[in-house]
Structure 1
Amino acid sequence: MMRHFSPPWWARNPHVQTILPVLTKAGRPDLTRQRLELSDGDFIDLDWLGQPKAQQPIVIIIHGLEGGSESHYVRRLLNDCDLNSICAVVHHHRSCSGETNRRARSYHSGDTQDLQENLSQLRLKYPDSPLLAVGYSLGGNVLTKYLGENANASLITRAVVVSAPLQLSACAKRLESGFSKVYQSYLIKQLRHKAAEKVNNPQLSQDMPVSLSQISQLHTFYDFDHRVTAPLHGFDGVDDYYRSASGMDFLQYIQKPTLVIHAADDPFMTADVIPSAEQCANQVTYELHSQGGHVGFIDGGTPFKPRYYLEQRILHFLISQEA
């Protein structure tokens, strides 16, 4: 029986919901790493929990900005998959598995090509295993865009999208004000560090659109995406990137059962990420909670050992195949 999400009194603040999970990370089961060589000469790394038996589903976990197998939400889902003997694989974006990727380009919010290559390989190797996907934050936007782009041709059977910035420009602007600037600063430092590594690499520096001194002046997502992300990935500036990559317009084309979960108090978002019923295809189940923060959704336990709503909700939708 699915429980409804209701935060405890001590976790009603959106920043508590967002930050406490980072400070109280659970352990995770052992994983096996696989390197997937991509068609453009680059690579991504996949971390496997188990191997699928005949016709057993595979849960594909797509992390958020600068996340990976060590992210608190990924660890928790891997633990629950392990408890339920569910095979899972973490799809790392380029340069997010602990090793810098080979090319100047990296990953972005609308990059569905690497996901497509991974899914195609999984389908070839495990033709009888349903492919189920969970995307968090940036990874949720990527997943939404993939599902809409491919419609009935999607290789994913069922999907869950959590805390996705479906309107990128609005979310970038939101992170420039109030306490949300703390999150922006934390993430921008990581992005700047990776960009600087590539500028310092003689084999990549000529392909980088910025110098070291320019990187140090990039303090907002809008600036970073305009000077680095957009030119590196073939967009005509930040506005073209945000418009092309935002998942909102792809919701109407989704043809596979998909659950989208947002919290209205998400400090990374504004109301612009909330779709209307007309913007969602019939196969989309939209779940908006008044509280929950960004990839939080603590619904019990104690501040030292929180209990979460997300994992139960995700696996209930994917495995039991109920809305």
Structure 2
Amino acid sequence: MPILESTYKPPFFFKNGFIATVYSGLFRSVSLKQDRERITLSDGDFLDLDWSYSKEKSKALIILLHGLEGHGQRPYMTGTAKHFNTNGIDAICVNFRGCSGENNLYYRSYHSGFTDDLQAVIQHAISKKGYTKIYLKGISLGANIILKYLGEHSNIPEEVKAGVAVSVPVDLHGSCKELHKLKNKPFHDRFLKDLVTHLKEKQLRFPNELSLNAVKNIKTLIEFDNVYTSKAHGFKDALDYYEKCSSLQFLPNIKIPALIINALNDSFLSPECYPVKEAKQTPDVYLEMPNHGGHAGFIAKNNLYYNEIRALEFCSKFSK
């Protein structure tokens, strides 16, 4: 599809990508009542799903996937859920394995290309809950999962109508290299601290899988992916993981409407993360590249974010 012209105009102070990113991650607050449901997966592990509902009974549902080290109560999740609830659509904020406040059962957990759990949630929503219209939205890591899912599967349920991917690192290695640059050191170090803290907990539970010394020697995100993410999930190393799980290669196969919103001042994204060629050559891939927004920082008015407004607009076009 043609590249979409963005109409996003942030408040003056939030034109700075760093400020927009930090404010959205640390200071935004959204009030939303959620009900938690735990589902058992085919391998015996579990997922915690945080549900919120529209006032009227609905057969339409949006499934939301968070980013690295996120969870179902992050404002970028609840903000979207609340906006869709207000407009007659139920929502699930998915907590990836180990992200709901309780450790998952196995050494493995989640990663940027693991689509099996998304597929399980979709099937649960259709077969157990009876939803007939399902929309998907992800932020960052969760967005990569959605695009990969839409492009790698040929048997996507007909109930899945559209997908939205926001601040998505479609080239994982490129994004990783950006995160290791000096400009992103505060973000890199925050991610790494949280990841290593959780990995130490895993090491205590699975000492035969990983030594404490190996964990202590992790100094960068790529080292984390070399030591844990790749090995725990069947990849040779971090580069093999990035290569096989980047959604960029799956975009040409997408046959369900998918909107990508990547800000041009997102410091997490490399040039390869703006898939202009793929969007122009793929009828169902829509690419919007606002000048501003940082990483998931599309601040608008009344505590609504531009990407949340656009997600509802886009999904509503494919509601039949």
TM-score, length basis structure 2: 0.92
Shift of 1:289: 1.4
Shift of 1:126: 3.6
1:134 paired to 2:161: no
Report the RMSD for the aligned CA atoms in angstroms.
Answer: 2.1
Shift of 1:121: 1.6
- Which residue of 1 is the match for residue 171 of structure 2? 167
Q: Is the 8 A contact 1:7 1:299 kept in 2?
A: yes
- Which residue of 1 is the match for residue 204 of structure 2? 200
Q: Is the 8 A contact 1:262 1:289 kept in 2?
A: yes
Question: 3-state DSSP class of the match of 2:153?
Answer: helix
Distance 1:321 1:33, change over 3 A: same
1:108 paired to 2:111: yes
- Which residue of 1 is the match for residue 261 of structure 2? 261
Structure 1 segment 202-217 matched on structure 2, within 5 A? 204-206=206-208, 208=209, 210-217=210-217
Q: Is the 8 A contact 2:161 2:318 kept in 1?
A: no
Q: Is the 8 A contact 1:54 1:129 kept in 2?
A: no
Q: Is the 8 A contact 2:54 2:87 kept in 1?
A: no
Shift of 1:300: 4.9
Q: Find the aligned partners of 2:56 and 2:216 in 1 and give their Cα distance.
A: 49
- Which residue of 2 is the match for residue 281 of structure 1? 282
1:25 paired to 2:28: yes
Shift of 1:307: 5.0
Q: Find the aligned partners of 1:3 and 1:223 in 2 and give their Cα distance.
A: 37
Aligned residues: percent identity?
34
Q: Is the 8 A contact 1:28 1:78 kept in 2?
A: no
Shift of 1:52: 9.9
Structure 1 segment 5-84 matched on structure 2, within 5 A? 5-50=8-53, 56-84=59-87
Question: 3-state DSSP class of the match of 2:289?
Answer: strand
Give CA deviations for 1:297-317 in whole Å, capped at 9, x if unaligned: 12457xxxx652111111111
Q: Find the aligned partners of 1:121 and 1:299 in 2 and give their Cα distance.
A: 34
Q: Find the aligned partners of 2:48 and 2:131 in 1 and give their Cα distance.
A: 23
Shift of 1:190: 1.1
- Which amino acid is the alignment partner of residue 190 of structure 2? Y
Q: Find the aligned partners of 1:198 and 1:250 in 2 and give their Cα distance.
A: 32
Q: Find the aligned partners of 1:117 and 1:308 in 2 and give their Cα distance.
A: 29
Question: 3-state DSSP class of the match of 1:134?
Answer: strand
Question: 3-state DSSP class of the match of 1:153?
Answer: coil
Structure 1 residues without counterparts, runs of 5 or longer: none
Shift of 1:151: 4.0
Q: Find the aligned partners of 1:128 and 1:186 in 2 and give their Cα distance.
A: 38
Q: Is the 8 A contact 1:55 1:129 kept in 2?
A: no
Structure 2 residues without counterparts, runs of 5 or longer: none
Distance 1:52 1:147, change over 3 A: farther
Give CA deviations for 1:4-53 in whole Å, capped at 9, x if unaligned: 20122211111011011123322321111111101111111101102897
Q: Find the aligned partners of 1:228 and 1:23 in 2 and give their Cα distance.
A: 27
Distance 1:100 1:284, change over 3 A: same
